[in-house]
Amino acid sequence: MVDKEQQLRERAYKIWEDEGRLDGSHEEHWRRAEEQHELAEQESEDVTKVNQEADDKFAKDDAESTSAADIKPHQRQAQTDGYFEALQPPRSGND
C-alpha cells in the first residue's frame, strides 16, 4: 500500500493540476490534500464501524432465528396461506 506522504503528494499534485498548474500555492494545496486525506480516513473508519455493527447484528439475528429446516410442514402451509390468492387479480362480478 502507498504510504501517507505519497498519497498526500499525489492529492496535492491533483489539486495543483485541477487549478491550472499555477505556481505559488503549494502550501495551500498541501493543506487541502491533508484535509481531504483526513476526511477520507474518517469516512473509511465510519463505514468500517457501521459495517461491523451490521455484521454483529445479523450474526446475532441469525443465531436467534429459526432455520427453514426447523419449520414443520403445517407451519409452512400456514405461512403461505393466502399468498397465491394475493397475487391473483381481483375477480369481476361476472365470473
pLDDT tens, N- to C-terminus, the chain (95 residues): 469 899 999 999 999 999 999 899 999 999 999 999 999 999 999 999 999 998 888 887 766 666 666 666 554 455 555 555 555 566 666 65
92 inside domain: no
95 inside domain: no
Q: How far is CA 79 from the centre of its chain?
A: 32
Distance, CA of 19 to CA of 12 (rounded, Å)? 11
9 inside domain: yes
pTM for the whole thing?
A: 0.52
70 inside domain: yes
Distance, CA of 59 to CA of 65 (rounded, Å)? 10
pLDDT of residue 41: 93
Tally of structural domains, the chain: 1
Alpha-carbon radius of gyration of the chain: 29
Q: Is the separation of the CB atoms in 29 and 15 below 8 Å?
A: yes
Containing domain of residue 50, as a range? 4-87
Q: Is the separation of the CB atoms in 16 and 30 below 8 Å?
A: no
pLDDT of residue 25: 92
pLDDT of residue 1: 47
